[in-house]
Amino acid sequence: MTRITPAEAVLLMPQSSLHGAPRNAEAERIAAIIAEARQARDRALAERIRGFFHGLRAVLTALRTRRETIEQLRAMSDRELADIGLTRGNITATAVAATPMAANDQAETRVAA
């Protein structure tokens, strides 16, 4: 474990600017690095939050599509279902297969089976 020397500690501590005296140049550089790191962290966090809501919207849209498909198929008569090769027993499975959702797909590169 390394320890900070007293000289390094002075560089890390912001110096008050009494009577308009400039702050230490190294402390200014460190403060700029810290500010840049905070901005990068904030941008990354905002992107993750946007990604979360984008994924949530996609899931909700898929679920709504499934529900609408199930409702439309249930509204059909047995004869109409037979014409398209379905029975009442496989309406839900057909709707699920028609609207696949990939699990844990952050990169949106995989396709659900």
Summarised one tens digit per residue, pLDDT across range 10-43 is 777 766 544 444 568 888 899 899 999 999 999 9
User: Which residue range forms the structural domain that includes residue 85?
Assistant: 23-98
Q: How far apart are alpha carbons 101 and 111 in whole angstroms?
A: 7
Q: Residue 105 falls within a domain, yes or no?
A: no
Q: Is residue 52 part of a domain?
A: yes
Domain count for the chain, please give it.
Answer: 1
Are 91 and 113 spatial neighbours (Cβ–Cβ below 8 Å)?
no
60 assigned to some structural domain = yes
Q: Helical H runs in 13-24?
A: none
Q: Classify residue 32: in a domain, yes or no.
A: yes
Answer yes or no: are the C-beta atoms of 81 and 88 closer than 8 Å. yes
Residue type, 108: E
Note whether residue 44 is domain-resident: yes
pLDDT (tens digit, 9 = 90+) per residue, 39-69? 999 999 999 999 999 999 999 999 999 999 9
Does residue 113 lie within any of the structural domains? Answer: no
Give the number of residues written for the chain: 113
CB atoms under 10 Å from CB of 95, counted, come to 19
